[in-house]
């Protein structure tokens, strides 16, 4: 995959992140709650219409999420309609031999018509069957007459205050609502969407014209054999619309694969593919729809062709590159003036478009290809996708990603960009939600970006990623809020229970957001102490890390003697020669706990965003710190020999740093300098270490 796309002058990696954060999988999945089914059922029952099959983007998971404008008089934007097939059960169409034991027998004739179309020739029918046209002594079912009958039925008995408008568009009788939805009335009306009612007749066999499709998809890896065979066994439908150049429009029908497309969309399309396609549809809606040349169905056709070619894992990890492929594919089709039907490639979906209309389409597509991001940014400058409550517009939220694009063009280090731009952006957006008191949304933002960040920075478990984000939160109360939300999700994500051990740390951090002598600080510190005591009781053998947490909480309450007693016990009982065991128990402090620590550790976190090392080394460090605070300066010297031995055993950078700080605290600048030098050898060029070494030489 390309690191940089010259045509658009952008990084496909950055484009991938923008797509996934704008259209997270939870927003485009099949489970979206746009209660279309119940709305359709109620409408059809009111019109006494049976045999309704919902199809189209609203049932395929392909609809663009609704949006809300930022205006004072805001309105809801919906970009979806519901297509409904009303399948005629009294007519049975065959492609070869007539179907027996039915009142109306018919044959589908596809000769002398445009590919993808046919005539329904009646072989047997009841005398009362209307909508029949005679041609050359043959009787045909008239789609035009049936469509007019459906329209008449839909418009009959309407009251004067009916808020719907009904008309004929293509094969559909379309129903639209006149009420403009906004933030005030949406609770009253719900999300209303236009309905396209399409009369359809079943074709019981798979049409011979689509045989090539069966052979083609069986050679690929997208659709499994079982799904293909099931689709073929169910046949297709015909709907009452003729090709625009038809010589017999009153008796011509179009082959419809809408039910098949719905099955494919729901069974074979992944959420990653859906993300990419819906972004593609948004570009069409914003830049091409007004030209009335490229329909959303044309886009779906291009998309299905792309799904045959591009492996599913590629859509997951290279969403931006896949989008560029879709745009390039559409541009190629436009240049050839041919968008071949997915099922019947001989059916050019745009061969009725006049030549004079193509120029504008080509120029607009060229602009999209040069910058597939700016149309979306312009739209999101004035609209929030799906009730987004983040107080800043999308362009501002992703500013780090946009700025990093040019830097990436030079350094081409995707791990660097993934952290500096992608993670930072998700983290900032999560903080915005936390500041609004919306921890659930804060977690969702982080989980939305996890697959992308795991690809570039991982592999790492989800719970580890969320914990790394949590410890970067500088406000202790927000850290606690996020952690409580994560623990509340443990039923859905059992691994989140691993974060229970951090709850005491979170209360400890939150306590420092209150004044030193306040009752709130005392209350939070007491809660932190209770939690860690409970954890120690539940452990068969307490870890060094838990004891470090306990000691720091006691130190914040100035209980230095109790802390010394705990830490001395750990030092005396720990196996200080078991390197693997020592390095298997790690302690980590991030921005969230920075204020509870001393100035030296605060400097480390400010410089490196966190400080992490073997818990046993932290035990030595805090033991020395407590003894100094208790004015027992001579006593620490008894521990330094073991302290130094453990640091040498682990050869840990953090260990040597802490050893250096400990020596400096007891006034031994020479040994402090030696420890810092040992750390510098493992971390050349560290300005903080160089500064510490200089301080020891003064």
Do 23 and 75 share a domain, yes or no?
no
Do 291 and 412 share a domain, yes or no?
yes
Contact 666, 637 (CB under 8 A): yes
HSE toward the beta carbon, residue 621, CA cutoff 13 A:
27
Do 78 and 178 share a domain, yes or no?
yes
Per-residue pLDDT tens for 8-47? 999 999 999 999 999 999 888 877 645 565 666 666 677 6
Q: What is the pLDDT of residue 442?
A: 95
- The Cα 402–Cα 198 span in angstroms is 45
- The Cα 246–Cα 242 span in angstroms is 6
Q: What is the pLDDT of residue 176?
A: 59
Mean pLDDT of the chain: 88
> How are the residues of the chain apportioned to helix, strand and coil, as percentages rounded to the nearest 5?
55, 15, 30
Do 95 and 150 share a domain, yes or no?
yes
- 64-73 average pLDDT score: 70
Asked whether residue 182 carries a pLDDT value surpassing 60, the answer given is: no
Please report, to the nearest 10 degrees, the dihedral formed by the alpha carbons of residues 108, 111, 112, 117 taken in order.
50
Do 11 and 36 share a domain, yes or no?
no
Write the DSSP string, 305-320: HHHHHS-HHHHHH-HH
Lowest mean pLDDT among 118-127, 261-270, 403-412, 518-527: 118-127
Q: What is the pLDDT of residue 74?
A: 45
Q: What angle (nearest 5°) sits at the alpha carbon of residue 55, between those of residues 51 and 56?
A: 155
Do 256 and 240 share a domain, yes or no?
yes
In the three-class reduction of DSSP (H, G, I as helix; E, B as strand; rest coil), residue 95 is classed as coil
Do 258 and 308 share a domain, yes or no?
no
- The Cα 547–Cα 544 span in angstroms is 5
- 250-269 average pLDDT score: 95
Do 21 and 61 share a domain, yes or no?
no
Do 193 and 152 share a domain, yes or no?
yes
Last residue of a domain, one of 220, 253, 268: 268
Q: What is the pLDDT of residue 179?
A: 45
- 587-597 average pLDDT score: 95
Asked whether residue 149 carries a pLDDT value surpassing 80, the answer given is: no
Q: State percent of the chain over pLDDT 70.
A: 86
Q: What is the pLDDT of residue 151?
A: 55
Q: What is the pLDDT of residue 66?
A: 79
177: confidence class by pLDDT, cuts 50, 70, 90: low
Chain position carrying tokens 């493992």: 682
What's the Rg (C-alpha) of the chain? 34
Do 316 and 221 share a domain, yes or no?
no
Residues near 607 by beta carbon (within 8 Å), at least 6 away in sequence: 687, 688
Question: Which structural domain, as residue segments, surrounds residue 656?
Answer: 572-698
Q: What is the pLDDT of residue 540?
A: 67
Q: What is the pLDDT of residue 100?
A: 62
CATH number of domain containing 254: 3.30.460.90
Contact 426, 448 (CB under 8 A): yes
Residues near 50 by beta carbon (within 8 Å), at least 6 away in sequence: 44, 86
State how many domains the chain has.
3
300 lies in a domain?
yes
Q: State percent of the chain over pLDDT 90.
A: 70
CATH number of domain containing 649: 1.25.40.10
Phi, psi values for residue 105, rounded to 5°: -105, 140
- The Cα 274–Cα 271 span in angstroms is 5
> Bigger pLDDT: 107 or 70?
107
Q: What is the pLDDT of residue 156?
A: 59
CATH number of domain containing 440: 1.10.1410.40
Do 257 and 287 share a domain, yes or no?
no
pTM: 0.88
371: confidence class by pLDDT, cuts 50, 70, 90: very high
Q: What is the pLDDT of residue 433?
A: 93
Q: Which of 81, 79, 57, 59 is nearest to 68 (CA)?
A: 79
- From residue 574, alpha-carbon distances to 288, 350, 445 in Å are 70, 77, 41
Per-residue pLDDT tens for 298-307? 999 999 999 9
Lowest mean pLDDT among 51-60, 92-101, 469-478: 92-101
């Amino acid at each position: 995959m390309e690191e940089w796309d010259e045509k658009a002058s952008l990084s496909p990696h950055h484009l991938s992140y923008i797509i996934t954060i704008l259209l997270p999988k939870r927003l485009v999945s099949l489970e979206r709650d746009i209660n279309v089914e119940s709305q359709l059922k109620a409408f059809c029952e009111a019109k006494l219409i049976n045999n309704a099959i919902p199809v189209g983007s609203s049932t395929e998971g392909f609809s663009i999420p609704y949006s809300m404008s930022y205006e004072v008089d805001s309105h809801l934007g919906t970009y979806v309609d519901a297509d409904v097939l009303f399948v005629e059960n009294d007519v049975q169409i065959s492609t070869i031999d007539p179907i027996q034991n039915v009142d109306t027998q018919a044959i589908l004739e596809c000769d002398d018509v445009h590919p993808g179309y046919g005539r329904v020739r009646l072989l047997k029918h009841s005398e009362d069957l209307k909508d029949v046209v005679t041609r050359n002594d043959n009787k045909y079912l008239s789609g035009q007459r049936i469509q007019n009958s459906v329209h008449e039925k839909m418009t009959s008995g309407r009251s004067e205050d009916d808020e719907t408008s009904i008309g004929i568009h293509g094969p559909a009788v379309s129903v639209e609502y006149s009420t403009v939805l906004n933030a005030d009335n949406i609770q009253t009306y719900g999300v209303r969407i236009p309905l396209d009612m399409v009369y359809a007749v079943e074709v019981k066999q798979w049409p011979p014209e689509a045989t090539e499709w069966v052979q083609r998809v069986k050679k690929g890896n997208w659709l499994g054999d079982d799904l293909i065979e099931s689709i073929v066994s169910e046949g297709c439908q015909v709907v009452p619309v003729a090709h625009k150049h038809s010589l017999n429009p009153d008796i011509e029908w179009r082959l419809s694969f809408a039910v098949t497309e719905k099955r494919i969309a729901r069974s074979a399309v992944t959420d990653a593919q859906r993300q990419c396609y819906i972004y593609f549809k948004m570009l069409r809606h914003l830049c091409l729809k007004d030209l009335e040349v490229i329909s959303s169905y044309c886009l779906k056709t291009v998309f299905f062709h792309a799904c045959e070619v591009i492996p599913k894992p590629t859509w997951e990890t290279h969403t931006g590159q896949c989008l560029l492929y879709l745009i390039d594919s559409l541009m190629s089709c436009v240049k050839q003036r041919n968008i071949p039907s997915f099922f019947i490639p001989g059916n050019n979906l745009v061969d009725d478009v006049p030549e004079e209309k193509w120029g504008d389409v080509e120029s607009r597509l060229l602009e999209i290809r040069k910058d597939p991001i700016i149309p979306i940014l312009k739209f999101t400058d004035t609209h929030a996708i799906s009730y987004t409550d983040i107080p800043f517009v999308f362009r501002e939220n992703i500013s780090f990603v946009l700025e990093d694009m040019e830097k990436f063009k030079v350094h081409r280090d995707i791990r660097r960009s993934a952290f500096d731009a992608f993670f930072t952006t998700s983290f900032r957006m999560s903080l915005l939600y936390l500041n609004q008191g919306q921890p659930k949304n804060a977690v969702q933002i982080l989980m939305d970006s996890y697959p992308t960040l795991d690809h570039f920075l991982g592999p790492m478990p989800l719970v580890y990623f969320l914990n790394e984000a949590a410890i970067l939160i500088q406000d202790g109360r927000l850290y606690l809020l996020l952690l409580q939300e994560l623990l509340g999700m443990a039923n859905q994500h059992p691994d989140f229970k691993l974060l229970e051990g951090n709850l005491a740390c979170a209360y400890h951090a939150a306590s420092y957001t209150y004044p030193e002598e306040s009752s709130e600080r005392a209350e939070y510190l007491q809660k932190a102490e209770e939690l860690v005591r409970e954890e120690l009781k539940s452990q068969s053998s307490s870890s060094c890390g838990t004891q470090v947490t306990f000691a720091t909480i006691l130190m914040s309450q100035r209980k230095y003697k109790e802390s010394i007693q705990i830490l001395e016990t750990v030092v005396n009982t720990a196996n200080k020669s078991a390197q693997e065991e020592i390095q298997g128990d790690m302690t980590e402090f991030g921005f969230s706990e920075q204020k509870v620590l001393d100035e030296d550790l605060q400097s480390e976190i400010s410089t490196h965003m966190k400080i992490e090392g073997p818990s046993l080394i932290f035990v030595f460090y805090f033991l020395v710190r407590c003894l100094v605070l208790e004015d027992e300066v001579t006593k620490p010297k008894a521990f330094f020999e073991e302290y130094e031995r453990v640091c040498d055993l682990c050869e840990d950078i953090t260990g040597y740093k802490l050893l250096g700080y400990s020596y400096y605290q007891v006034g031994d600048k020479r040994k402090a300098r030696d420890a810092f030098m040992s750390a510098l050898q493992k971390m050349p060029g560290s300005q903080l270490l160089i500064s510490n070494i200089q301080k020891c030489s003064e």
